[in-house]
């Protein structure tokens, strides 16, 4: 089956469209030369309009003739093109039918191969199979005719082995965040992401525990400070009033008499004799509080020194 052009023959096709091209070109050049460098003024503007109309008329005549000749030349081709398209449409019908059958055959082969892949997957005894969804790792290229079932089975087996090994790596971490780490791993089967998540969780825990310890110490210090203030207030009530002084910048003067009990508790092997002394101290309130604590801790009695004793 071959398309044969009967008329016109190859030699019969139009090679050139001959017309008085050179004659028109020469005549137009001689007539148009007067317009070169022509400048119109207000008095000659009407002449400019006439010249423009003359040139427009000439331009339109040339364009109209070009369009007519083009239609005449294309008329046989337009008819020829329509006939060719009609023949092509006849060919398209059986082509489409054949194409549908080919696609149907290829689809059937892919479905059969996919069933074989699923069967191999289900027969596997790998523990990783329960962790992986078949749909999440299925590769469309496995269905291509150029990819053998042996290659598909090798890739699936390698996947199972890798997941088993990497799950063991996570278990060997013995991390308290194993559940979260496994969850991240199963999202994309990336051991690097899983290990990064474990590090992040451990660091968050460390920072949280450090914060809690800091808060505990802070509260303990606040409690100790409050207790110290409470004792200072109690000591202030027990200590004598400060002695009058001339310089206000000096620490508060308080006269304290340490009264050692005359009858001290009997303690074996004590050679130092019990003494009683009177003394005066100059100290701040905090220092007085510390002094009182020292005396109490050592079982030393103290009291106010009367004016007569002083």
Grade residue 273 by pLDDT with cuts at 50, 70 and 90: low
- Count of CB atoms within 10 A of residue 201's CB? 16
**Buried-state track 248-286, b at ≥16 Cβ within 10 A, e below 16:** eeeeeebbbbbeeeeeeeeeeeeeeeeeeeeeeeebebe
Q: Which residue's structure tokens are 């063991």? A: 168
**pLDDT value at residue 37:** 79
Q: Which residue's structure tokens are 């449409």? A: 89
Compute the average pLDDT of residues 120-147. 91
**pLDDT value at residue 49:** 85
Grade residue 156 by pLDDT with cuts at 50, 70 and 90: very high
**pLDDT value at residue 269:** 54
Q: How far apart (Å, rounded) are the C-alpha atoms in residues 147 and 155?
A: 11
Helix H, strand E, coil C: the string for 163-228 is: HHHHHHHHHHCCCCCHHHHHHHHHHHCCHHHHHHHHHHHHHHHHHHHHHHHHHHHHHHHHHHHHHH
Greater pLDDT, 108 or 283: 108
Compute the average pLDDT of residues 54-75. 88
**pLDDT value at residue 281:** 80
Q: Is the pLDDT of residue 256 over 60?
A: no
**pLDDT value at residue 258:** 44
The residue ranges of DSSP E strands in the chain, in sequence order, are 242-243, 253-258, 277-282
Q: Is the pLDDT of residue 180 over 90?
A: yes
Q: Is the pLDDT of residue 291 over 70?
A: yes
Q: Is the pLDDT of residue 110 over 90?
A: yes
Q: Is the pLDDT of residue 242 over 80?
A: no
- To 5 degrees, how large is the angle CA 73–CA 74–CA 79? 130
Grade residue 31 by pLDDT with cuts at 50, 70 and 90: confident
Grade residue 308 by pLDDT with cuts at 50, 70 and 90: low
* For the chain, percent of residues with pLDDT exceeding 90: 36
**pLDDT value at residue 254:** 47
**pLDDT value at residue 249:** 47
- Which of the residue ranges 91-100, 172-181, 298-307 has the most confident prediction, judged by mean pLDDT? 172-181
Q: Is the pLDDT of residue 157 over 60?
A: yes
Greater pLDDT, 203 or 287: 203
What pTM value is reported for the model? Answer: 0.46
List, in order, residues 6 or more apart from 253 with CB less than 8 Å away.
242, 243, 245, 280, 282
The per-residue pLDDT of the chain, averaged, comes to: 82
* For the chain, percent of residues with pLDDT exceeding 70: 83
- Which of the residue ranges 16-30, 134-148, 226-240 has the most confident prediction, judged by mean pLDDT? 134-148
C-beta of residue 191 within 8 angstroms of C-beta of residue 181: no
Compute the average pLDDT of residues 147-168. 94
Compute the average pLDDT of residues 56-71. 89
Size of the chain, expressed as the number of residues it contains? 310
């Amino acid at each position: 089956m071959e398309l044969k052009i009967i008329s016109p023959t190859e030699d019969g096709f139009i090679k050139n469209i001959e017309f008085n091209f050179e004659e028109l070109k020469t005549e137009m050049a001689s007539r148009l030369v007067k317009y070169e460098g022509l400048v119109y003024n207000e008095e000659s503007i009407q002449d400019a309009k006439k010249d423009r109309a003359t040139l427009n008329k000439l331009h339109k005549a040339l364009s109209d003739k070009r369009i007519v000749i083009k239609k005449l030349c294309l008329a046989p081709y337009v008819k020829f093109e329509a006939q060719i398209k009609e023949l092509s449409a006849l060919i398209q019908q059986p082509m489409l039918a054949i194409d549908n059958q080919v696609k149907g055959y290829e689809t059937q082969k892919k479905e059969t191969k996919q069933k074989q892949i699923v069967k191999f997957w289900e027969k596997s005894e790998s523990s990783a199979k329960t962790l992986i969804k078949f749909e999440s790792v299925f590769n469309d290229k496995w269905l291509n005719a150029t990819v053998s079932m042996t290659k598909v089975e090798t890739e699936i087996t390698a996947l199972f082995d890798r997941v088993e090994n990497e799950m063991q790596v996570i278990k060997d971490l013995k991390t308290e965040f194993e559940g979260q780490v496994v969850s991240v791993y199963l999202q994309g089967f990336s051991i690097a992401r899983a290990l990064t998540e474990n590090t992040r969780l451990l660091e968050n825990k460390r920072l949280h525990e450090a914060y809690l310890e800091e808060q505990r110490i802070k509260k303990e210090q606040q409690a100790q400070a409050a207790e110290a203030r409470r004792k200072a207030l109690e000591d202030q009530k027990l200590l004598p009033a400060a002695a009058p002084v001339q310089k206000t910048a000096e620490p508060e003067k308080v006269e304290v008499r340490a009264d050692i009990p005359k009858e001290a508790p009997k303690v074996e092997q004590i050679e130092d004799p019990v003494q009683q002394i009177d003394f005066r101290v100059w100290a701040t309130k905090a220092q007085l509080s510390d002094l009182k604590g020292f005396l109490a801790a050592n079982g030393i009695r103290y009291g106010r020194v009367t004016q007569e004793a002083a």
